[in-house]
């Protein structure tokens, strides 16, 4: 069955960088656009970034453009999110999902704290 498994979260100090990964299985990963969504504590879902099926197109929420970079490796069925210059308000559960939200991972928690 379709599975998306995120990893890479943890506790990180403000100003540092972090790379999140999402491994896909159970479907033809290379045929689908993918996105990252986050949920800060007590807040709603926030779309973060989108990447096309072949990685040629990447889009970001305006407020995060420049610090976040989405990428993928179709040979490894993997999606990535590089987050630079982390801030406390980046604390959230980060989910990967097929574009459109047909399937989601269970998320990985990022806590930005000194």
Kindly state whether residue 50 participates in binding other proteins, applying the rule CB under 8 A: yes
Count of alpha carbons within 13 angstroms of residue 104, beta-carbon side: 13
Pattern 53-92, binding to other proteins, x per CB under 8 A? ----x-x-x-------------------------------
CA distance readout (Å), 39 to 42, 56, 100:
8, 26, 17
Kindly state whether residue 106 participates in binding other proteins, applying the rule CB under 8 A: yes
Greatest pairwise CA separation for the chain in angstroms: 40
Kindly state whether residue 105 participates in binding other proteins, applying the rule CB under 8 A: yes
Question: Applying CB under 8 A, which part among 13-21, 23-31, 77-85, 94-102 lies near other proteins?
Answer: 94-102
């Amino acid at each position: 069955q379709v599975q998306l498994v995120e990893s890479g979260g943890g506790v990180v100090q403000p100003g540092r960088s972090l790379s999140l990964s999402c491994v896909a299985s159970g479907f033809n990963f290379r045929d689908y656009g993918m996105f990252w969504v986050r949920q800060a504590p007590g807040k709603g879902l926030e779309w973060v970034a989108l990447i096309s099926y072949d990685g040629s197109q990447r889009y970001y929420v305006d407020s995060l453009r420049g610090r976040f970079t989405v990428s993928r490796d179709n040979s490894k069925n993997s999606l990535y999110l590089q987050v630079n210059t982390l801030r406390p308000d980046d604390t959230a559960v980060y989910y990967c999902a097929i574009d459109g939200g047909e399937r989601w991972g269970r998320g990985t928690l990022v806590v930005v704290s000194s």
